[in-house]
Amino acid sequence: MSKFSYKLVTGGAELQEAFEVRRQVFVREQDISEDLVFDGHDRKALHMVVKDGERVIGSARVQFLADNQAKLERMAILKHYRRKGIGKEMLLFLDAVWKDKQVQQVIIHAQFEVVPFYKLCGFDKLGLPFREAGIKHMKMHKQV
């Protein structure tokens, strides 16, 4: 049984903790501009967090693009917690959310170095690599 808990964000304090994970991973580690990381789409998005006890150690954002399509964005896990199966569990948690919301297709813009991870989790590549925020990415999708 995992010691980590996976849940949808329900309050402002939890959302701020999710933002801090995002800030740590994307702004501090990857040197992405805070203006790109916090792009103004958070209010209308669904957010999830992963907790180790009371501490938020992972987060992700989901935008609903159409009635049956969602986009997974800003998936981040603090460095110390990576390669422990947390990302896979986050996607399994979100699979249930997407099914509940009758989403049929999920798309992502995956950083190129984690494309193999997303392939293992059922995503397929779409098109050619591209640059986003100065980092090589690949558009991917999966049917839910």
Q: What is the pLDDT of residues 57-66, one digit of tens each?
A: 999 999 998 8
- Distance of alpha carbon 30 from alpha carbon 135, whole angstroms: 9
Specify the pLDDT at position 86: 96
Element (H, E) at 17: helix 12-22
CB atoms within 10 A of CB 125: 14
Are 47 and 15 a contacting pair, CB within 8 Å?
yes
Distance of CA 33 to the CA centre of its chain: 18
Specify the pLDDT at position 3: 87
Q: Topology of 4-143 in CATH?
A: Aminopeptidase (3.40.630)
Residue ranges in the chain modelled with pLDDT below 50: 1
Residue 135, CA distances (Å) to 6, 51, 132 in order: 28, 28, 5
Specify the pLDDT at position 67: 79
Specify the pLDDT at position 1: 42
Strands 46-52 and 69-77: unpaired
Specify the pLDDT at position 11: 86
Strand segments, DSSP code E, in the chain are 4-8, 46-52, 55-66, 69-77, 105-111, 124-132, 135-143
Specify the pLDDT at position 2: 58
Cα–Cα nearest to 15, from 41, 48, 44, 62: 48
